[in-house]
Structure 1
Amino acid sequence: MTHPDIVIIGGGMAGASLGAKLAAHAKVMILEMEDRAGYHATGRSVAFWEESYGGPIVQPLTTLSGPMLATPDPDFHDGSFLSPRGTLHIGRAGDEPLRDTLLNSFAGRVELQTVDPADIVPGLRPGWTLGVMEASCQDINVAALHQAYLRQFRRHGGEIRLATRLEAARSDGTGWLIETREGSVQCGLLINAAGAWADDVAIACCVAPIGITPLRRTVVQISVPDLPSPDMPLIMDLASRFYFKPEGRDRIWLTPHDEEPSPPCDAAPEELAVAQAIARFEEAVDWRVGKVEHKWAGLRSFAPDRTPVYGFDPSAPGFFWFAGQGGFGIQTAPAAAALAAALITGTALPPAVASLDSQAYSPTRFR
């Protein structure tokens, strides 16, 4: 039996980022059920940092993560994880309330500018007359970020066990005994960073679930031979029916913005969602669509109020929630990990995230 101080369930962006923060202060082990870390949501992200994405309660986490992603410590990563993109939110007649809600919700917090979308998108079809530009949006090098966290975790002495699924765990009031098919692990603190499996992990630990719901998101990679420019902004429908962005010279990543409830699983795209994505794309622009080159799906996991859950469970000593990140867990990873690490170690929030209200994300709101 091994005896780390802390066990983190899940080696995706959540578990890796928090593990990297904690490993310098304690003996930390990550248990990852797949053969490689980041196989599910982390490895299937459309990969952008957008301050308005996720709504006003998520925005502080995203905004504070921006500088840490743009100019990381050289010992952590050489160069920025971000590259310029910008977002153009577009809408049609009748979408004015959606536009105004976007503008009002982030007034004084995110720089948004009303524009004529036809001036920015060649080939935009008639009727798309509403536009809001969010120039701060950037692409994220997700793979590099995840690997940087795992390197830092290991450099500080952290251990990751792949293909190791938590089968059950029980608390004796002072710590946890975790059972896996590969043997038992005993620890003082158990961190639930299991993404779509977060509620399943809680149940296996005899902890009341919160109601973390996995929602499937489909993404299609299509060739677009006449793509005006690979540097065009992310195009996001104000009515949340699609978004797409260039991925290279003649290629688009496209989603119908679907949110289909799903059990925790290795998510696969459904043909109806793929067809909807292409149809909605063709409603927006007159660019010629080539072939479907690739399609995939990922699970975005939400708490009932669609706000992340970071904190100790008030009914289960030594059980810490780091879950419910929805589709914004990657763009908020630096700030979220710094917040959670401070809560776990009982230290003051670092200056970079000192303005965060930890109670807004606490699991006590569900108890």
Structure 2
Amino acid sequence: MDPVHDVLIIGGGIAGLSLASELADRRGSGAGIVLAETEPALAHHTSGRSAEQLIPSYGPEPVRELTAVTVAGLLDPRPVPPRPLAWPSRMVLVGTGAGLRAEAVPGMQELSRAALAELCPELACSPPEAVAGGLLDATSVRTDAAALVAWHRDRATAAGARILTGAPMTGAEPDAEGWRATAGGQRIRARQVVVAAGAWADEVAGRFGAAPLGLRPLRRTAALVRLARPLAPDHPMVVAAGSGWYYRRAGDGALVSPSEAVPSEPCDAQPVLEDVEDLVARLNAVTSLGATGIERAWTGLRTEAPDGVPVCGPDPDVPGLLWLAGQSGYGFQTSTAMARAAADLLLDGTVGPWCSRDTADALDPGRFRRGPGHPLPPLP
């Protein structure tokens, strides 16, 4: 008889890896934890294509609460990683007065057009009807996505968690102890299953008999471009209110994105270069960046729930199945808090007091169907 594991996590992006390391740390051992990733490498899809900026003022209120928890944890991680996971890096939102008011949240500092031009000299030439001023988020941080993925992986495996790559799900059925699944040709028995499969979450959960939540993969492209003059080392990330395009310093050039949200099937998304070329032309029309070429472009899928809030909780109809999905563009910036919430549910059956009840309720997948999810029997 195959051994019964405590939990099977399906998905090796930042969500699944964060949960594996959180569970291993809190239990004092990763024994009984299996993570299965379809691709030959971890963080292959969206998690490997992050803008690497965590913005506490970005997103709906539950996301902002989760982001604050995540940022605090990444600025002071335990155990201390080999290299920093995050560090302060300001963000400024720019646009018209109406556009800025629509996206303002408490704690942001209002900047006049003159103050904005002093902070971001390339915006001094921007048409006033397009850039009237800005809002500064001084709590924003940059993160090293590769270092964070490696830290979670190493923390989980050092504690005994088993990580399988090149292991697509090909079958699942209930058994007396929970679930019997097949991943990469290997049979895995587990008491609980966590679906952290990003754009494929609805499809994977369906293998376990769960109805889809209506998660929508949305394409978003980014590129590295050359600049006429490098931005200052402490230059803030610049995000346009409303349209959402952004740029930030990346070496002597800049990372830019049109922030499109084009529906897509779950896939290994590829960039549409015309979108990046159009953005370069727009940036050169409203700034003096002097972007002169595209060095590299890539695309990821931001998978969002119908109400735009991530999903973390037990399925309302399928016992033993927990959703950890729908993070949209907030995957890295909510990763620590989402992992903590999922671990709370798996270990204690409820989200702890560190998270407000409103936010915990907002994450529950039962909001899309007929009621709260099945209580999860706590893991050993």
TM-score range with shorter-chain normalisation? over 0.9
Match of 2:50 in 1: 45
Matched residue SS, 2:62: coil
Q: Aligned residue for 2:101?
A: 100
Partner of residue 328, structure 1: 330
| Displacement of 1:308 | 0.4
2:312 paired residue number: 310
Distance 2:151 2:356 in 1: 24
Q: Does 1:22 align with 2:23?
A: yes
Q: Which residue number corresponds to residue 122 of structure 2?
A: 123
165, 181, 186: which one aligns with 1:183: 186
Amino acid at match of 1:56: E
Contact 1:256-1:280 within 8 A present in 2 as well: no
Answer yes or no: is the 8 Å Cα contact 2:225–2:293 preserved in 1.
yes
Query: Counterpart of 2:66 in structure 1: which amino acid?
Result: L
1:7 aligns with 2:8: yes
Specify which of 136, 140, 145 is matched with residue 139 of structure 2: 136
**Contact 1:173/1:317 (8 A) holds in 2:** no
Distance 1:8 1:76 in 2: 25
- 1:283 Cα shift? 2.6
Q: What amino acid sits opposite 2:214 in the alignment?
A: G
The gaps in structure 2 that reach 5 residues or longer are 370-380
- TM norm structure 1: 0.92
Q: Distance in 1 between matches of 2:176 and 2:306?
A: 28
Comparing 354-363 and 303-312, the one that deviates more: 354-363
Q: Matched residues in 2 for 1:191 and 1:274: separation? A: 36
CA shift for structure 1 position 173:
6.5
TM-score of the aligned structures, taking structure 2 as reference length = 0.89
Partner SS for 1:329: helix
How far did residue 55 of structure 1 move? 2.4
Name the residue aligned to 2:372: none
1:71 matched to 2:72: no
**Which one is further off, 156-165 or 75-84?**
75-84
User: In structure 2, what residue type is equivalent to 1:85?
Assistant: S
Backbone CA RMSD of aligned residues: 1.9
Other-structure match for 2:110: 113
The alpha carbon displacement at 1:207 in A equals: 1.1
Aligned residues: 358
CA distance in 1, matches of 2:138, 2:121: 18
Contact 2:108 2:135 in 1 (8 A): no
Give the Å deviation of 1:172.
Answer: 3.7
Deviation at 1:216, TM superposition (A): 0.6
SS in 2 for 1:327: helix
Q: CA separation in 2, counterparts of 1:11 and 1:162?
A: 8
Q: Which deviates the most, 298-307 or 63-72?
A: 63-72
State the shift of 1:353 in Å: 4.3
Q: Among the aligned pairs, what percent are the same residue?
A: 32
Classify the secondary structure of the residue corresponding to 1:38: coil
- Residue 98 of structure 1 and its aligned partner are, at CA, apart by 2.3
- Higher mean C-alpha displacement, 348-357 vs 294-303: 348-357
**Unmatched 5+ residue regions in structure 1?**
none
How is 1:122-271 mapped onto 2 (pairs within 5 angstroms)? 122-124=121-123, 125-127=126-128, 128-172=131-175, 174-248=177-251, 250-271=252-273
More helix by share: 2
How far is 1:202 from its partner? Answer: 1.3
How far, CA to CA, are the matches of 2:178 and 2:166 in structure 1? 23
Alignment check: 8 A CA contact 2:19 2:339 kept? yes
Paired AA for residue 340 in structure 1: A
- Matched-pair contact (CA < 8 Å) for 1:123–1:286: yes
